[in-house]
Each structure stands twice: as C-alpha cells, then as structure tokens.
Amino acid sequence: MSSRGKLQGCLAQSHKETSFRKLKKGKGMFKHKIENSIFTLCRSVLMVLVMSGTLSFYWTGINIDTPSPNTLVELTLSWLQAWGESFLIALPISLIVGPWINRYVKRES
C-alpha cells in the first residue's frame, strides 16, 4: 500500500472515530438522523427526476417519427407530459422500495 493510501485510510479512520465519539456522547444524535433522512429523500427525488426525465425523453423521441415543422413543439409537450406521469409513478415506488433494497444490501454485505 502506498503512503498516500495509508494517509487516506488513517484520515478516514480518524473521521469515523470522531463521529462515533460525538454520537456516543449523545450530542447531535437526533440531528444526525434528521440530516441522513433529508439527504436520503433528496437523493431519491433527484435520482427519480433524472431517470424519469431521461427515459421519458428517449421513449417520446422514439415514438414521434414523422418529421414536420411542429415536431419539436410536439416532442416537447409530449415529453413534459410523459415526464410528469413517470415522475408521479416512480417517486412513490422509489421511496417505498428504496429502504428495503438498502436493508437487503447491508444484510448481504
């Protein structure tokens, strides 16, 4: 292992110990859980936005096949409608299934 890798490992261990000491003393335990919950929620919402937008744009573009002057307007309106619908379906699924997947992955590792 290089000296740089050892230094990074040492810094990571030091950070873990400091965080653990703060939590062990009871300072900021509740705040830490709230921050993790908000982070998880924001991560899920952003992931759903990007994935639903990308996939709905792809499939809308594939399904609009007649070139005309109004194709860009039609593509945009159809895509925005499809994105809204896919977001409304994907977000609850992500928020419900996501924690189960996290528990399964943690249990298997």
pLDDT in tens, the chain (109 residues): 555 555 455 545 555 555 555 555 555 555 566 677 788 888 889 999 999 999 999 998 888 876 677 778 888 888 999 999 999 999 999 999 988 888 888 888 6
Domain that holds residue 47: 29-108
Please state whether 67 falls in left (phi above 0), alpha (psi between -120 and 50) or beta: beta
- Does residue 104 belong to any structural domain of this protein? yes
To the question of pTM greater than 0.75 for the whole model, the response is no
Task: Decide if 52 is inside a domain.
Answer: yes
Tell me whether residue 83 is in a domain: yes
Residue 23 lies in a domain: no
The rounded Cα 82 to chain-centroid distance in angstroms is 20
Is 96 domain-assigned? yes
